[in-house]
Every structure is written in C-alpha cells, then in structure tokens.
Amino acid sequence: MDKFIQLHQPSITGVLRGFDRVMFRGTPRLIANVGGMRAWLNHMGVFLKDFGDFALNVTEQLKRAAQAVAEQAERPVRYLPRGSMNKEEIAREIARRDGITEGLVCVLTSLEVGMGFDLHKNREAKRLELVCRPRRCLHIYQYLIHPVLGWMNARLQTWFPLTFKVCINGRRWLARQMDAEGIQYAQRENTFVAVSDLVRAQGLLDDQLKTNWPGVLDAIAMGLSPGHREVFATFPLNYYWSADETEWATDVMFRSQQNLARLYPGLIRHAMGSMGSVDVMRFLADRTITHVNGNFKGQVVTDLKERPEGIRVKHRVGANTVKMYDKQGSVLRIETTINHARGIKVYRRAEGQPDAPMRWQRLRKGVSDLHRRAQVSDRANARYLDALAAADTDKPIGELAAPGLPPGLGEGQAGAGAQPAGGGDARLLVAVARGEFTLNGFRNRDLRSLLFDRPAKDQTEEKRRSSTVSRKIRMLRAHG
C-alpha cells in the first residue's frame, strides 16, 4: 500500500482501513447437528413422531415474542409475500417516513428456504429419522439503529436449529464513534469522503477489533429475540458466534473526483489485464498453485461491472473475492471478502487443548479468530494496492528499469546491485510481482518453482537453489 500512496501522495488526503459489512451467525451449538438435536429432544421428552408439532409450537412462540418486542417499541410488523423483496430498502423507507434515529425500526417476516431439521421415513428400516436439509420456514428480520453500532439488522430462523444472524457495518459504526468524539466528517452512504482527524478515526476502527463480540452479540440477540430464553428455559443453550462473511475495506480518499477519474481507467486495465486464472487462484485460494489443475471443477472469475456508485472490478475463487471500486467519485476502495476461511491459517493452539503447543492451524469461522481474518484481509488489500502502483506510467518497463539499482543496504549488510532490465533479476521481479502472492506473500519454494525451468536433480541441487533464492530475497529487502 505504501508504494501506491507515495506514488499518488499529492492527490490523496488519507486512508481508512477496517471492517465494512460483517455478517455474524449465532448457533445453539449443541443442537446444530442431528445427534445433538436428538439428545436435546430426548431431554425435553419429545418423541420423533411429535417433532413437527413441537417445532411449529416453537415457531409460534418465537413469532409472538418478536411481535411483543415490536409492540412495546410501537413499531410496525410487516409480512413480505416474497423473500426476494429488498428488505433493506423497505426498512430505510420506514425509518425515513417515521423519522427514526435510534432503536427498533421495524420487523419484517417472510417464508424463506433455510437449513433445518425434518423427519424422514426410512422405509427399508421402517422407522422415522431426523435429518437436516433445506426447507421453507418463517424468518423474522429486525432492523434497528443501535446506539453504538448504528444501522444494523438481525434475522431469526424460527425452525430448528433456530440460527440467529446479525449484520453490522463497520463504517456506520465508525460514524457513531466519531460523533461521540466530536470528529468532523463528510459521509455519503457508508463511505467517508473527508475526515478531519484521520489518525484518531483509524484508531477508532482499530478499536473495533478489540470488541467483546460474544457479549455484544448476545445482548443484541436476547434483546431482539426474548423467545430464545423461553424455548431453552429448562436446558439453557447459548449462541456460538461465528463470522459467516466479512468485508474488509481500504478506502483511499482523493482530493477531488477529477484526481481519481484520471487514474481509474488505467487501474481498471491493469487489474483486468494482469490477473490470469492461476494468479487469481493463488491470490484467493492456495498460494502453492503453479498451474491450473485439470481436475479443478470450480470457477475462477475476474469481471467488471458498472454500478450506480462506480465501476467495480472483482476477482473471485469460490466464495472469496477481492474487489476494487471507485466509490462516490473520489474514494478508491479495495475490499477483501472472506466467506470460506479454511484456506487461511492462524497461529494458535488446537481447540480444546489449552496446554498444546502453538502451531499453524486452519482459520476458524468463530469470532475468536476474527482478528487474524482482519489481518489477512488488510494485507491482501495493501498488496493489491502496491500491485496497482505499477499502472501509473506511460513509459515502457525497459526504459524505467534500464538504469538498474545500485548496491543497497539491508540489516547492516551491503546488498548487491540489481539489473531488472534483463537477466535473472528481471525474471525475479516478474515472479515476485505476480498477483497470487497478494494475499499471503511468497516463500522461497514458491520462487524456486518460477525461477527454474526444470525440477532439481537431487537434494544437493535443491539446497543450492534454495540458497540462491535466499540471496535474491535479501537483495530485494536491501533495496526496500
């Protein structure tokens, strides 16, 4: 990111990095699987043949509790005949109409498909079985303006396992924080185009990561869905909170729309033209990929779309994306969205083993690993911006690189000079600039696979190549 900022410093007023949209899922963990649900039903004395009636009674109980919350706040409850209707727009229109600035805005209900438990008649075994599969059930949406978090919404699935989703927006939260601190700002929708104290504003965004998420989310869930306590009165079950989807945005604020408008077409060409399938796969999926495997059945997509708020470039593998927008005319937004976290690692102890040694483990969706998810997303955005720094010149690369780099200094030792216009240094610079290294960086063995055309004949040659690449990495560090 520093390269991009330094290159365009005269046109940039500041940068804000932090969460945009975050979707949390609360699950009563014990009943999230068939075995646990069976055990809980046994405890409650509910036979499988009675499960349907029992679940319908629970749905009505939760529905009445949500209606009571709305009645107490004197807010409307509205049934939507189609689940595809834009609930956010409806809620905002109600808020504008009624002049709501804090508290519950409305409750919207609709029948939608969700993963829920159902009965299956096993004719071969001649018995009823409990299964988990997609089914239509009532969902309750509650929109509110939280005194701290600002505009947000929650969704309760009224059929077992009774999952509860909470969606917040880090930028709207920041607006509330800055209001409390007396910081002046200009905001268009969820984008800040000017902030009087950027250092303090960034500090407030950083403080969001220190939130006691289970405490905050439990309070929201219990406030909006008091029926949860009633359902689990004899066998209390708490929500296990996970991050279903996180969007981490880096907003580069330009002094004027004209400044960004001159630059953005070149950034679009660079983003669309420099990322091949392998680049995007390594960028968002697995940094060890060196070619497209013929057995790969997924989709690798880079696309461009013009939206009302600006032109968007998106790179996607599976459910994870990196996007670039020109937001509100004068803000360049780079945004990493993580839905599937298993390809990311976190340095921690094994879950449930507090005395186990620290080691690199798969990133969990639980909020305990949210800080690491933010760290990975922030680095992805920073490297993406640095990659875009190469898009701002009309000079041929040979002309730019011809003078070479003089010997540099790094870690107290002299670094060798470099000749990027030709030879091994040119190939090295092409390798380290590949888009797939944006998310997690590169390792020595990643570069070896790119710098040498043939596999090493033996272990001795492999070690020699590793040493060669190590010297090249030290040279790059010496030149900054």
Q: What pLDDT score does 421 carry? A: 54
Q: pLDDT band at residue 143, thresholds of 50, 70 and 90?
A: very high
Same domain, 174 and 134: no
Among all chains, which residue has been given the structure tokens 């040493």? 467
d(CA 55, CA 59) in angstroms, rounded, equals 6
User: What is the model's pLDDT at position 433?
Assistant: 78
Which region holds residue 182: left if phi is over 0, alpha if psi is between -120 and 50, else beta?
A: left
Domain boundary among the residues 141, 160, 179 is at 160
pLDDT tier for residue 289 given thresholds of 50, 70 and 90: very low
Span of 189-198, 290-299, 325-334, 446-455 with lowest mean pLDDT:
290-299
Q: In the chain, what percentage of residues exceed pLDDT 70?
A: 85
pLDDT tops 70 at residue 460: yes
Same domain, 42 and 155: yes
The answer on 200 and 145 residing in a single domain is: no
Last residue of a domain, one of 392, 419, 448: 392
**Percent of the chain with pLDDT strictly greater than 90:** 58
Domain count, the chain: 3
Is position 433 within any domain? yes
Q: What's the mean pLDDT in 431-453?
A: 81
Tokens of 449: 């696979």
Question: Are 57 and 111 in the same domain?
Answer: yes
pTM of the model: 0.78
Tell me whether residue 51 is in a domain. Answer: yes
Give the model's pLDDT for residue 292: 46
Contacts of 347 (CB under 8 A, 6+ apart): 358, 359, 360, 361
Identify whether residues 39 and 17 lie together within a single domain: no
**Position 276 in a domain:** yes
Collapsed DSSP state (helix, strand, coil) of residue 347: strand
> What's residue 400's pLDDT?
53
Inform me whether the pLDDT recorded for 161 exceeds 80.
yes
pLDDT of 163: 96
Same structural domain, 294 and 419: no
Minimum mean pLDDT range among 101-115, 307-321, 368-382, 437-451: 307-321
311 plus 381 within the same structural domain: yes
Residues 417 and 344 in one domain: no
Domain boundary among 160, 194, 217: 160
Structural domain boundaries enclosing 41: 33-160
pLDDT at 97 over 70: yes
pLDDT at 291 over 50: no
pLDDT at 306: 73
**pLDDT by residue (tens digit) across 47-73?**
999 999 999 999 999 999 999 999 999
Residues 426 and 469 in one domain: yes
Tokens of 223: 């406030």
Q: Is residue 217 part of a domain?
A: no
Q: Indicate whether 223 belongs to any domain.
A: no
Based on the domain organization, do 63 and 4 belong to the same domain? no
- Mean pLDDT score of the chain: 86
Looking at residue 415, its pLDDT comes to 52
Mean pLDDT value of segment 408-434: 64
Residue 230 tokens read as 């009633």
Same domain, 156 and 173: no
Asked whether residue 204 falls in the same domain as residue 106, the answer is no
| Residue 287 lies inside a defined structural domain of this protein | yes
